[in-house]
Copies of this chain bind each other. A is one copy, B any other.
Amino acid sequence: MAKFVYDFTEGNRDLKDLLGGKGANLAEMTNLGLPVPPGFTITTEACRHYLAEGSVPEGMEREIADHLSALEGAMGRKLGQADGPLLVSVRSGAKFSMPGMMETVLNIGLNDESVYGLAKQAGGNERFAWDSYRRLIQMFGKTVQGIDGELFEHALEELKHGRQDTDLTAQELQRLVETYKGIVREQTGHDFPADPREQMRQAVMAVFDSWNAPRAVLYRRQERIPADLGTAVNVVAMVFGNLGDDSGTGVAFTRDPGSGRQGIYGDYLQNAQGEDVVAGIRNTVPLQDLEAVDKSSYDELLAIMETLETHYRDLCDIEFTIERGKLWMLQTRVGKRTAAAAFRIATQLVDQGLITLDEAVTRVTGDQLAQLMFPRFAKDGGRKKITKGMNASPGAAVGKAVFTSERAVELAGQGEDVILVRRETNPDDLAGMIAARGVLTSRGGKTSHAAVVARGMGKTCVCGAEELEVSASGKRFTAPGGVEVREGEVISIDGSTGEVFLGEVPVVDSAVVEYFEGALERRSSLGESEERANGERSGRDHQTQPDDELVRAVDRVMSHADSVRRLGVRANADNPEDAARARRFGAQGIGLCRTEHMFLGERRQLVEDLVLAATGEERQAALDALEPLQKADFIGIFRAMEGLPVTIRLIDPPLHEFLPDLVALSVKAATGEATEKDRALLAAVKRLHEQNPMLGLRGVRLGLVIPGLFAMQVRAIAEAAREVPGATPEIMIPLVAAVQELEAVREEAVQILADTGVEALVGTMIETPRAALTAGQVAEAAEFFSFGTNDLTQMTWGFSRDDVEAAFFSRYLELGIFGVSPFETLDRDGVGRLVRLAAEEGRATRPGLKLGICGEHGGDPDSVHFCHEAGLDYVSCSPFRIPVARLEAGRAVLAQNDSDTR
């Protein structure tokens, strides 16, 4: 028969699926012999049964009754008995933490009789007992009975009449309990349940139901937590930190989660319960101050924290309560930490012999590494913080405040740095967002239009800074404390913390970027300094040189990730400068060199000539003029890459992209300002105009329709390769949808290569769904595939990134249609299915077919893992994302090993 209830003595930390995170860790601590209040956990399986069937599974109620009896026996008190009652808390606890999403009810077991028993138990503290009772009714009414919490709050406020909670007397609280019971009666039509077991039963159901509360459903969609896990429920004997000055409550970390510094770190609040800490009623004191108050508990706590860290082999955070001098552990888990702390702690734990380097790599993430690479505000210097919003898109931006998109564009056009400040943004603000250094809004969360679009652009953004009053018409905003900022005044915003500062805060480059920039040269000297550092460790002040320690930690982790990863990492780079930077950042080649970027600037003129060519001769003349320029471009890139492979994509966009704008030319023509060339261009632009250029005459289609275009490019590549010894070009044909297209252009390319005596692979981008669906055929003519997942995503979903991110992505994120934009993280179900299918069927045709990805997904952590799992050979991404890709490629191997050994 299934078992639905586990005593804390029966579980352990590996049972998170069944007992949830909180329950599994309470059991683990119990088994370690730590002082955990007794209790038991109702399993997620019971919850799933309840949610699916609408009733609790058979036998569950019986098991709960048995475990409650055991608990009563252990405590020597009975639940809610009139004289010295046992009270319990009912707490949710799912496998994955869903902070604030799920329900908790404390003080279960109180009623009009047991409240006196509690007072007696508490040494006659009647105020405490009535306060506990009113808390129960308030929490139960809101959470279990679904009564609007404002009704209770309002009654409390009326009673306080401006005083503090602590000023209320026992008599006043007793009256409040009566008022609360009245509210319950009025709202539900029934009395507040006096039966303690009925209170507990209803609380358990409420926790089950809270799994499907709308906010929880939405949260899971956004965080990609499966919807069918269910939550466990923990029933725990109550302990009280608010029984006097020998009581208290606190939270602590086993090391500093902000910096990673070793040594305990936490807060303590005397004579208080956990919810008081959250409410911020009084200021907490540093944990160290507990030593003076209650040395015995303090020493015990320190010993427990060391036990936990050694046992969990990681930074732990804990919640504890001291009840009249007796320490109780209420929760522990592996603690969250900042990016810098993650790297430092991981390597510290290696040095302590607690974890291996493999494990250290799994303890940090690419997102954390990316955070460390953004510029940030200097710590010192007079920073005048005026408010804090949500950290919507990281980075540090400084500029003049502007309040309209138009003004942002105007000032940016004059070379000014501006911050666009809006109540909220909408698609009309797009031009201004592009022009600005950063975006600040007073409304909207992390899925608001501003947040989504800014992240898409990689632009710094703070959103939902609700203390600000923004007036676009008044061209100003106000902040707390009478601060007013008018158009043109400088502000600074920190997208990683959400902070907003008055005036200019100095920006410093990331030490980690500096390390990567010099990585090739510095790697040996770092080795030396590390030896020195080891020798001097005891004498060093870690606080004064945190960057050095951070850089050493990053270096160790990256070196190890490089040594374990299977995926190669290449760069998307179109010029020698980017290519050189990419190499410094560790690129093993170029995965995408876009040749159309070489048609811009002064060369537009030549493209115009090409388009306007009336005869074959004129067309060839335009191509002949472009060829040496392209050749020179390739020579520069080949030299920068010193023999590493360079995948060059032949021209991809439609030619009209290089021509002047249709509207502008039409207006010129209508107002009589057009020159003869303008009129010729207008005719060409009209002729080439496409309703949907993304789905138009581009890529391989251009190569097939415009004689000589691809041949010119291939010749330029081959001639450049001849001049740079060791150059390794790979020629990539874009936008292929059918193998016949590839065959038709491949033949010419192969001939030119043969004529020039240059060896180069000829392959294709897989960026149309059809190329993926017919990959078995396409591989017959392709020596490599590179997945162009930007276009593949656009075509698979049927939306264009340019058009839709601003128009409806924020709404889609709000609705939970996706948890993250499919342009940021590769959509495994749709696009990913095509990638896997193409990889398999391509390799079935051509074993050993080289496979890579060159969409922007190549630098996204989750997508890198996908590419590893799908068996690709390399990922290619923008130079700045290369370290992220290297790290995640290593982590992907270790994650797979981990799941393989399970």
Contact = CB atoms under 8 A, between A and B. Distances in A.
Interface string A820-835: 0000000101110110
Contacts of A696: 799-800, 803-804, 807
A670 interface: yes
A816 B743 CA distance: 11
B692 A833 contact: no
Nearest to A833: B773
A791 to B, nearest CB: 7
A612 B808 CA distance: 18
A701 interface: yes
Nearest to A738: B817
A768 interface: yes
Nearest to A662: B663
Contacts of A831: 770
A812 interface: yes
A704 B812 CA distance: 8
A210 B443 CA distance: 74
Given A697-B803, A830-B769, A740 B691 contact: no
A818 B704 contact: no
A811 B704 contact: yes
A735 interface: yes
A857 to B, nearest CB: 16
Among A671, A794, A803, A829, residue most surrounded by chain B Cβ atoms (within 10 Å): A803
A733 to B, nearest CB: 13
A667 B769 CA distance: 39
A165 interface: no
A804 B773 contact: no
Instruction: Name the interface size band of chain A.
Output: 35 or more
A802 B796 CA distance: 19
A618 to B, nearest CB: 17
Nearest to A827: B770
A532 interface: no
A465 to B, nearest CB: 26
A819 to B, nearest CB: 10
Contacts of A666: 663, 666-667
Interface in A676-716: 687, 690-697, 701, 704-705
B774 A817 contact: no
B744 A830 contact: no
B741 A817 contact: yes
Among A428, A769, A804, residue most surrounded by chain B Cβ atoms (within 10 Å): A769
Contact of A803 (B671, B691, B740, B833): B691
A782 interface: no
Interface string A736-762: 011011001000000000000000000
Interface string A565-604: 0000000000000000000000000000000000000000
B687 A428 contact: yes
Interface string A621-662: 000000000000000000000000000000000000000001
A221 interface: yes
A767 interface: yes
A737 B663 contact: no
A870 interface: no
Interface in A841-874: none
A59 B274 CA distance: 95
B800 A690 contact: yes
A834 B773 contact: yes
Contacts of A427: 687
Contacts of A812: 704
Contacts of A670: 667, 670-671
A808 B774 contact: no
A791 B795 CA distance: 10
A694 B692 contact: yes
Contact of A740 (B773, B815, B833): B815
Contacts of A774: 829-830, 833
A798 interface: yes
B741 A769 contact: no
Given A695-B799, A701-B804, A804-B695, A777 B829 contact: yes
B667 A705 contact: no
A831 B737 CA distance: 11
A593 to B, nearest CB: 22
Interface string A393-422: 000000000000000000000000000000
Contact of A795 (B798, B808, B833): B798
A312 interface: no
A831 B833 CA distance: 15
Contact of A692 (B671, B695, B796): B695
A47 B794 CA distance: 46
B807 A697 contact: yes
Given A663-B666, A803-B692, A796 B769 contact: yes
A774 B796 CA distance: 11
Contacts of A735: 798
A285 B199 CA distance: 108
Interface string A771-810: 0011001000000000000010011111110111001100
A808 to B, nearest CB: 5
A834 to B, nearest CB: 7
A111 B373 CA distance: 87
A815 B830 CA distance: 32
Contacts of A687: 427-428
B830 A798 contact: no
Contacts of A690: 800, 802-803, 807
A13 B744 CA distance: 37
Nearest to A670: B667
Among A737, A777, A831, residue most surrounded by chain B Cβ atoms (within 10 Å): A737
A427 B802 CA distance: 27
A695 B794 contact: yes
Given A696-B804, A705-B807, A770 B796 contact: yes
Leading 5 A-B pairs by shortest Cβ distance:
A695-B800, A770-B830, A768-B798, A696-B803, A769-B769
9 contacts: A427-B687, A663-B663, A663-B666, A695-B803, A696-B803, A697-B807, A768-B796, A768-B797, A768-B798
Given A694-B695, A704-B811, A769-B830, 11 more contacts: A670-B671, A691-B800, A695-B799, A701-B808, A738-B817, A738-B830, A740-B816, A768-B797, A769-B795, A769-B796, A773-B830
